[in-house]
């Protein structure tokens, strides 16, 4: 029996490089937020969090077509060249059922209350969450940059975070549907 090693190698390479179907990665199950002014992390599990699907945006594909929208970043505005210093900083972790329920993606969220604008940072090569994030989704070299947050994300998360900052330590904070 003769084995075509070139064909075998190409098949193996295609299997490793080809994007997995979005459905196989599962929806967002939980979002955890910790940082500025929060005595305990906010844990969100309400169905409304599914609107912020980590498996959307650049680096994700549907029927072979790379997606250009979705998640919590306003991709259409591009990379933020400059943002104000001294903003409120939060670490936002996204959990999904991908090879078991686990954290699959982590970003920084900075908020500027004076102009009511949020910014999302995708960790770069020197950052703690880069390896985890790029294992889940490689966003085609956009890592290591700041972006504008979508208005949908800001409208969802800002009231929750405000309630959490004003709540008693250890009190549960839930999204309002």
C-alpha 86/C-alpha 124 separation (Å) is: 20
DSSP 137-169: ---TT-TTEEEEBPHHHHHHHHHHHHHHHHSPT
The more confident residue out of 115 and 122 is 122
> Is the Cβ–Cβ distance between 112 and 118 less than 8 Å?
yes
Looking at the predicted structure, is the pLDDT value of residue 29 above 80? yes
pLDDT band at 55 (very low <50, low <70, confident <90, very high): very high
Report the pLDDT value the prediction gives residue 89, as an integer from 0 to 100: 93
Report the pLDDT value the prediction gives residue 101, as an integer from 0 to 100: 81
List the one residue out of 153, 143, 145 whose CA is nearest residue 117.
153
Looking at the predicted structure, is the pLDDT value of residue 7 above 80? no
Looking at the predicted structure, is the pLDDT value of residue 102 above 80? yes
Looking at the predicted structure, is the pLDDT value of residue 23 above 50? no
**CB atoms closer than 10 angstroms to residue 145:** 17
Mean pLDDT in residue range 97-115: 88
Q: What is the pLDDT of residues 117-171, one digit of tens each?
A: 999 999 999 999 999 999 999 998 999 999 999 999 999 999 998 888 776 455 4
- The helix/strand/coil state of 5 is helix
Helix (H) or strand (E) run with residue 132 in it: helix 130-136
Structure tokens at 88: 């409120």
The more confident residue out of 129 and 3 is 129
State the chain's mean pLDDT as an integer. 83
Report the pLDDT value the prediction gives residue 34, as an integer from 0 to 100: 95
């Amino acid at each position: 029996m003769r084995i075509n090693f070139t064909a075998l190698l190409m098949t193996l390479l295609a299997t490793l490089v080809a994007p997995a179907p979005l459905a196989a990665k599962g929806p967002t199950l939980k979002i955890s937020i910790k940082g500025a002014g929060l005595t305990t992390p906010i844990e969100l599990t309400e169905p409304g969090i599914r609107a912020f699907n980590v498996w959307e945006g650049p680096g994700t594909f549907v029927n072979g077509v790379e997606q250009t929208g979705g998640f919590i970043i306003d991709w259409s505005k591009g990379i933020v060249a400059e943002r104000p210093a001294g903003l409120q900083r939060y670490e936002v972790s996204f959990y999904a059922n991908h090879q078991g329920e686990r954290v699959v993606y982590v970003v920084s969220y900075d908020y500027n209350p004076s102009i009511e604008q949020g910014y999302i940072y995708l960790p770069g090569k020197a950052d703690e969450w880069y390896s985890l994030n790029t294992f889940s989704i490689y966003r085609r070299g956009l890592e290591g940059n700041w972006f504008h947050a979508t208005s949908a994300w800001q409208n969802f998360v800002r009231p929750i975070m405000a309630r959490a900052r004003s709540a008693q330590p250890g009190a549960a904070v839930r999204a309002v549907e």
